[in-house]
Structure 1
Amino acid sequence: MTSPLIWLALGTFVVGTEGFVIAGLLPDIAAEAGISVAQGGTLVTAFSVSYAFGSPVLATLFGNIDRRRILTATMVLFAVSNLAAALTSSFEALLLTRVVMALSAGLYAATAQATAIALAPPERRARAIAVVVGGTTVAVALGAPIGALLATLTGWRGTFAAIAAVSVVAAVAILSKIPAHLRGTRIPLRERATTIVKPGILPILATTLLAMTGGFSVFTYLAPLAVEGAGLPATVIPGLLLAWGVGAALGNFVGGQVADRYGARATAIFAVFGLGAILSIISLATKFLSSALAGPVVIGLTVLWGIMGWMTLPAQASRLVALHPASAPVSLSLNASALYLGVALGSLLGGAVINVGTSADLGWVGAIPVALALLIVLATGRLPALGRSPALSEGSVP
């Protein structure tokens, strides 16, 4: 008998695929809409801002409603919004559908992890969360590249239509496989807000924000960076997303192992430093190497970039939990908001770079907020040691 957790993970896989595949679709969307790729980047900004601020608000409003109903409804809404995106006739309508996607995705992710905890016995709760959040890792490694490949065959609308279809499958499975009458408790917005000002929390959240800002100022515009900057053909974009996804999956696993052995703060320092260095080298490669050399170098660096970027997540989660264990559910949800706000700021920063410079400038500009994140980690005192759990190995955020 298939575990109900698998169906929850299918939902996080669908949500994660849509969230990461957009980087490979932006050039085609922008071309059809008659706008620049930088303007197309507002699709990422709108999604990320809506997720960052909408998720805690919706989780507060619907925290005590039957979780099966919430999970099914959000997945249906996600399916409808993706289908609407596939059928849109204007960029403004597409932008609106991404806002709806973000709100439904944020509420789904929070509810799915809470449901995983409710379904598992106490000694297996961390593993249950890891299974559910693992859907996102699979989405990064496989879902986004497959979605980008599908776009090369059917157009970007075909990718949205396919995501809508899988979302329907997930909704039906959740409705039939998840037990009814599972209810949680609301965490008031005031409690979420007051957690930010607890000693040590804000610097860690700022580190996440700045690291994501730097990384996603480049990732959002990965397609123009590869084609215009590195001279790669557009058909390589799915493979480039796969390279980044494989690196991300490896980095997420290694990050937890390294944090166990050497400490979460040391891991964060290493990963953030590595991320900044790799982004800078990407700029140097696209600026000064010939196309014959720049393309292969960028592909190789993309794997390392994925490793370093995703090593940061379990380390940051471990630091938060160690700092204030009783506030972990709230602090980790705030970390998720910081992550998505960083994605939003990164898309704006990268768009500004493309407007005033070239795609080859993305890497070194993205390295600037990453350098600021490194300074914050270095200035932050050592935190209590914390043994890593399977939940944190996936960079989980309740």
Structure 2
Amino acid sequence: MDKRLIWLAVGSFTIGTEGFVMSSLLPAISADAGISLPQAGYLITAFALAYAIGAPVLTTLAGEIDRRRVIAATMALFVIGNLLAAASSSFALLLTARIVMALAAGLFAATAQATAVALAGPEHRARAISIVVGGTTVAVAFGAPLGALIGAAFGWRGTFLSVAVLGAVAAAILWLRLPRGLRGTRLALSQRLTAAVRPGIFPSLVTTFLCMTGHFAVFSYIAPLAMEGAGLGIGVLPGMLLAFGISAAIGNLSSGYVADRFGAMQTVLTVLALTAVALAMFSIIPLFVPRPLAGLLLIVAMVPWGIVGWAFAPAQASHIVGVSPDLAPITLSLNNSALYLGIAFGSFIGAEVLRYGSPTELGFAAAFFEICAMFSVLLFQKPAALAAARAA
């Protein structure tokens, strides 16, 4: 294995850690900035929107630039964004910093995967991509809990500083180790948008969007749900994220095997049904179970949610590749944008639930979107896939 892939994975780990730790930092940021939790949640919404829209545009513009320069520049910009966040004196500046981070993260993710394939060769393409993407999985399992622990001990600014240090180390090593002259092929933005309307693709993107909306309606506000809904202390949040992260890694790794065994479409449907139940429990437990038992059960509920929740993405990606194998790089990029649009909308929905309701209603709202995703599969995605298969 090319050891340079490890450092690309470290870059993914750094970016993933910052992204997934935000939910645990929102209460502290809200208190320091003197704003409500729903307003603080815009930090997640803005990041996801900037990522979803900026990634395909920037990837198109940077397609023919030396990938070593692009990767180093994006990591440097990500570090600057974290330093800006740590030093921010206003919510507006912090919001700007997160948008900068999102633009850098989106371009880094696409370029890092393409670079990994170039380094490993076509015969090891899947393994190379899995190593780079694995950095994000490890970030969910260990990076976010560690970042939450740092935030609890040294404040939310300390978390951003820690991420900046790790990002700077990764950027320097990648600049020194990556070869010069690796260039990609520039694809027009119109080509990417055209792929979205291919038979079977657009319904799949809608399903991804709805699924992630449900997940992040809860995940973005897991802190107020745990603290206000179940009476847990802020010190419990790192442990909750750790339980979720390890379970997510298990779900992510096992999903591919399950999809190969039972079919991607059937796996997606099953996962969505189980996820709806898992998310509904985040309303049922705090509403109907007395404290402190509710707090304990809420922590336990993170495990099945992590397993079934993170089983969706690999199965859905497998389905999308199967629909149009010739357009796999483009359609997977579109699926990634749909994923982040779902994160943005989910954090917005969660904020509205908190604004007009209470944290205990988040689970029911989230489960509704998972049920909508199931109907999307049954009514649109599955028939479109069958039509595409007949046409092929």
The two structures have a TM-score, normalised by structure 2, of 0.97
Alpha-carbon offset, residue 281 of structure 1 = 1.6
Distance in 1 (alpha carbons) for counterparts of 2:25 and 2:382: 41
CA distance in 2, matches of 1:312, 1:281: 19
1:381 maps to a residue whose letter is: K
- Letter of the 1:206 partner, please give it: V
Return the alpha-carbon distance in structure 2 between the equivalents of residues 130 and 268 of structure 1: 20
Task: Give the SS at the match of 2:89.
Answer: coil
- Between the aligned partners of 1:37 and 1:306, the Cα distance in structure 2 is 24
Structure 2 residue 28 is the aligned partner of structure 1 residue 28: yes
Range with bigger deviation, 301-310 or 344-353: 301-310
2:281 partner amino acid: I
Q: Name the SS for the 2:311 alignment partner.
A: helix
Matched with 1:393 is none
Matches of 1:241 and 1:20, distance apart in 2: 9
Would the aligned equivalents of 2:48 and 2:341 in 1 still touch at CA under 8 Å? yes
Match of 2:334 in 1: 334
- 2:382 corresponding residue in structure 1: 381
Answer yes or no: is the 8 Å Cα contact 2:2–2:120 preserved in 1: no
Question: For 2:187 and 2:199, how far apart are their aligned partners in 1?
Answer: 20
Amino acid at match of 1:196: A
* Residue 314, structure 1, aligned to residue 319, structure 2: no
RMSD, aligned CA: 1.1
State the partner residue of 1:246: 246
Would you say 1:55 and 2:55 are equivalent positions?
yes
List aligned pairs for 1:222-371, cutoff 5 A. 222-371=222-371
Secondary structure of the structure 2 residue equivalent to 1:321: helix
Deviations 1:97-136 (A, max 9, x none): 0000000000000000000111112211110011011000
- The whole-number CA distance in structure 2 between the counterparts of 1:340 and 1:97 is 18
Give, in whole Å, the separation in 1 of the partners of 2:364 and 2:214.
Answer: 9
Conserved? CA contact 1:25–1:156, under 8 Å? yes
2:292 aligns to what SS in structure 1? helix
Deviation at residue 6 of structure 1 after TM alignment: 0.5
SS class of match (2:64)? coil
- What is the distance in 2 between the residues matched to 1:42 and 1:371? 25
Q: Supply the distance in 1 between the matched residues of 2:177 and 2:37 (Cα, whole angstroms).
A: 42
Structure-1 separation of matches of 2:32 and 2:345: 25
Counterpart of 1:170 in structure 2 is 170
Post-superposition offset of 1:378: 2.0
Q: CA deviation at 1:300?
A: 1.2
Q: Does 1:99 align with 2:99?
A: yes
Q: Is the 8 A contact 2:210 2:372 kept in 1?
A: yes
Counterpart-to-counterpart distance in 1, 2:230 and 2:41: 20
Cα deviation, 1:338-363, whole Å, max 9, x if unaligned, reads: 00000000010000000111100000
- State the partner residue of 1:43: 43
2-11 or 339-348: bigger deviation: 2-11
**Separation (CA, whole Å) in 1 of partners of 2:286 and 2:104:** 38
Which residue does 2:208 correspond to in 1?
A: 208
**Other-structure match for 1:189:** 189
Distance 1:369 1:292 in 2: 29
Specify the code of the residue in structure 1 equivalent to 2:382: G
Amino acid at match of 2:370: V
SS at match of 1:252: helix
Q: CA deviation at 1:2?
A: 6.5
Per-residue Cα deviation, 1:201-246 (whole angstroms, up to 9, x for no partner): 1111111100000110000000000011111111000111111111
User: Are residue 6 (structure 1) and residue 21 (structure 2) matched?
Assistant: no
Aligned counterparts of 1:170 and 1:251: Cα–Cα separation in 2? 28
* Secondary structure of the corresponding residue to residue 126 of structure 1: helix
8 Å Cα contact 1:79/1:167 also seen in 2: yes
The CA distance in 1 between the partners of 2:196 and 2:101, in whole Å, is 27
Partner of 2:121: 121
Alignment coverage as a number of residue pairs: 384
CA–CA separation in structure 1 for the residues paired with 2:357 and 2:148: 26
CA distance in structure 2 between the partners assigned to 1:122 and 1:233 by the alignment: 49
Residue 388 of structure 1 is matched in structure 2 by none
Q: Quick one: which amino acid aligns to residue 347 of structure 2? A: S
Distance 1:298 1:202 in 2: 35
Greater mean alpha carbon deviation, residues 57-66 or residues 298-307: 298-307
Q: By how many angstroms is 1:381 displaced?
A: 2.5
Instruction: Among all aligned residue pairs of Structure 1 and Structure 2, give the percentage whose two residues are the same amino acid.
Output: 54
Do the aligned residues in 2 keep the contact of 1:59 with 1:107 (CA within 8 Å)?
Answer: yes
8 Å Cα contact 1:232-1:291 kept in structure 2:
no
| Conserved? CA contact 1:232–1:295, under 8 Å | yes
Instruction: Look up the equivalent residue of 1:219 and give its one-letter code.
Output: F
Cα distance in structure 2, aligned partners of 1:372 and 1:246: 27
Give the CA deviation at 1:317.
0.3
User: Deviation digits for residues 367-395 of structure 1, max 9, x if unmatched?
Assistant: 111110011112233758xxxxxxxxxxx
Q: For each residue in 1:32-58, what CA deviation from the matched residue of structure 2 results, as whole angstroms up to 9, or x when unmatched?
A: 000111100000000000000000000
Q: Deviations over 1:301-341 (max 9, x none)?
A: 11111111111001110010000000110000000000000
Normalising by structure 1, report the TM-score: 0.95
Is residue 75–residue 168 contact of structure 1 (8 Å, CA) maintained in 2? yes
User: Residues of 1 paired with 2:79 and 2:144: CA distance?
Assistant: 17
Query: Do 2:259 and 2:315's aligned partners in 1 also have CA atoms closer than 8 Å?
Result: yes
> Runs of 4 or more off by more than 3 Å in structure 1?
none
Q: Deviations over 1:167-217 (max 9, x none)?
A: 000001101111111000111100110111100111111111000001100
Q: Which residue of 1 aligns with 2:73?
A: 73
Distance 1:171 1:381 in 2: 43
